[in-house]
Structure 1
Amino acid sequence: MVVEKEGTVQINGATLYTKSWLPSDGAPKAILLFIHGFSDHINRYCTFFPVLAERGIAVHGFDQRGWGRSVRTPADRGQTGGTDQVLADMAAFITPYLPSGPSDPPVFVMGHSMGGGQVLTLASRPEYRDGLVKRVRGWLLESPFIGFSPEEEPSWLKVLAGRLAGMLFPGFQLRHPIAPANLSRDEAVRKSIADDPLMHNTGTLKGLAGLLDRTAALASGQAKPLPGAMQSLWIGHGTEDKTTCFKATRRYFEECLGEVKDKEFKAYEGWYHQLHADGPDSENFFKDVGDWILERCGGGGGGGGGGEETTGEENGKGKGADTSEEAAAKKTASKL
């Protein structure tokens, strides 16, 4: 059984919707704080989080400013503010859960898609290094937004026009639809996305400019974890992701994480963008995430140790994957 709790939290002048999925049989083994993606909301992950809670991992999430149930009127849609506002909101949500003593459960932070890019950006900022980043036991990224997929890459003219307009009308709302067919291989999931009134696909010129700036900084290697700050990192990405770029994520893992000793990259062969909702195989993703977290809590996992790369050769199921140093070196040399 899993206990679900809804609520709100006051963060930097905004009332934001929150939801938690809690183990029903006592204190959690770990706490996972989740940051959702563009046009998404925390209840879209409702098949993923209960599985983690059943394994003793308490999950807490919030609908970010401008998204989901944190939107009260149409004028609120996409009103995220710039990057400083986005990161400040995340930090304000995360900080109360951070452990204050050795008996507190370890805290993990996970971001999906846009949220994955936000998580990496937060970990690269000096102002959050000691008070936040170093106190998080591990970081997880699901299909992080480090680069556009070919299907979603905007033209340079559209980007330039948007930036110029954003200087004059930062709060102007602009729809940026993402085709449900590009998000999941599961037809039922695609339909639920198309029918979800909370997925409004609307950003502001200021918010979208901030999103592009964060992505460009990550793709260029300018934004990367600070030395000695990030303890552990797990990244999962589908090789057929049609929304964010698998190759850009792989390149970031190979070139920008030299300071992170405990790290793992999991390639899900043939999977799309929403690893948590990509059909029956998603149960393997649930297990991979749960195993990785619990291994860093002193037990409960079933996979390999940290500091290695998992290739996902068995259709992303984690079976028979070559995690040897030689294989990892070959993949690094290939520089996808």
Structure 2
Amino acid sequence: MFRSALVLTLVSLLSACAAAPSRAAAVRTTPLPVPANTRYVEGSFSGTGGLKLYEASWRPTSGEPRAAVIVMHGLKDHADRYTELASALVAEGYAVHAFELRGHARSEGERVWVERFDEYVEDMKLFVQRVKAKEPGKPVFLFGHSMGGAISTLYALDHPAQVNGLILSAAALKPGKDISGFRIAMSGVVSTLSPRSKLLESEDTLFSRDPQVVAQMKSDPLILQGNGPARTGAELLKAMETIGKRRAELKVPLLAMHGTADALTNPEGSAELVANAATTDKTLNRYEGLYHDLVHEPERAKVIADMVAWLNARSPLPVP
């Protein structure tokens, strides 16, 4: 869980709800560079409850893809930030598909708000179905970062037959050591009494050791600047509790990656998932000294290469 994500005080309990929430989607201000030999397509689809959710895909311009990789972003994040990862995967013959969470970036919905965490998982279910229809017969792998890792894990627990593997990057699977049982209990109280209080906090400087990445985050119009609502933080804590209770049910091939210096999500959550998962095909990669956002750290080439090698070992090349 994000460090100091839920700053729960008596003042918080007495605070009024935030002003009328915005449902407007953000917009990109500069064109996205498209990697060579890549067909890039943007669009939207109807998520749970009818919200219009943004989607994008990167596919090889020639030949059949060997598999599809679905990217699920986290908080303070969006699909464009995975262009470098998508480029590396397309070069290896993968089709990459991503969508943006409700209330994030170009998707509709109250900013960073979710009534129930299951809404995220239900949106992912719809998206996986869309990708399978676009990539018929191809293996489908999930890549989930941070909160997106929790969403992807819950989906894989509920629908193991729909995915061929799960890759987790700094997944939010266990509260941090500084989040006491009392604070977790109080998060539910605040979520009920003042659900839109801006208490879900994460510091940009803790995402990456690369100062350019941090500067880009601070000026990115697709990233909500400031704190998110208490309800979303409380729902994420509930999701972590559910994953902790069900992790022994996980049956799909698993690669969990975490930086040892991650101060935003607890590395122990990744280690415990790998230790307890039912699948025998499971790997834990610990990256010494790396912060939270592994594919935006100075050592991201190593992280991406490890992912590609893991996928290649489980995705045979299509027959010519």
| Counterpart residue number, 2:40 | 4
What letter matches 1:298 in structure 2?
P
Q: Tell me how far apart the structure 1 counterparts of residues 127 and 104 of structure 2 sit (CA, whole Å).
A: 15
Match of 1:226 among 239, 244, 249: 249
Match of 1:182 among 164, 184, 206: 206
Alignment of 1:269-288 (within 5 A): 269-279=288-298, 281-288=299-306
1:203 deviation in Å? 3.1
| Counterpart residue number, 2:235 | 210
Q: Tell me how far apart the structure 2 counterparts of residues 11 and 143 of structure 1 sit (CA, whole Å).
A: 25
Residues 166 and 205 of structure 1 are in contact (CA less than 8 Å); yes or no, is this contact kept in structure 2?
A: yes
What letter matches 1:68 in structure 2?
A
Match of 1:68 among 105, 109, 114: 105
Match of 1:122 among 134, 155, 171: 155
Match of 2:70 among 33, 38, 50: 33
1:34 deviation in Å? 1.1
1:67 deviation in Å? 0.8
What letter matches 2:147 in structure 1?
M
Alignment of 1:1-336 (within 5 A): 1=36, 2-12=38-48, 13-71=50-108, 76-98=110-132, 104-125=137-158, 129=159, 133-149=160-176, 153-154=178-179, 158-170=183-195, 172-200=196-224, 201-218=226-243, 221-224=244-247, 226=249, 230-254=251-275, 256-257=276-277, 259-279=278-298, 281-298=299-316
Instruction: Give SS of 1:80's match.
Output: coil
Instruction: Give SS of 1:117's match.
Output: helix
Residues 99 and 107 of structure 1 are in contact (CA less than 8 Å); yes or no, is this contact kept in structure 2?
A: no
What letter matches 1:282 in structure 2?
R
What letter matches 1:92 in structure 2?
L
What letter matches 2:263 in structure 1?
K
Cα distance change of structure 1 residues 179 and 44 upon mapping to structure 2, 3 Å threshold: same
| Counterpart residue number, 1:321 | none
Cα distance change of structure 1 residues 100 and 28 upon mapping to structure 2, 3 Å threshold: closer
Runs of 5+ unmatched residues, structure 2: 1-35
Q: Deviations over 1:182-208 (max 9, x none)?
A: 111111101111112322154333322
Residues 254 and 274 of structure 2 are in contact (CA less than 8 Å); yes or no, is this contact kept in structure 1?
A: no
Q: Deviations over 1:92-119 (max 9, x none)?
A: 1112323799x72211011001111111
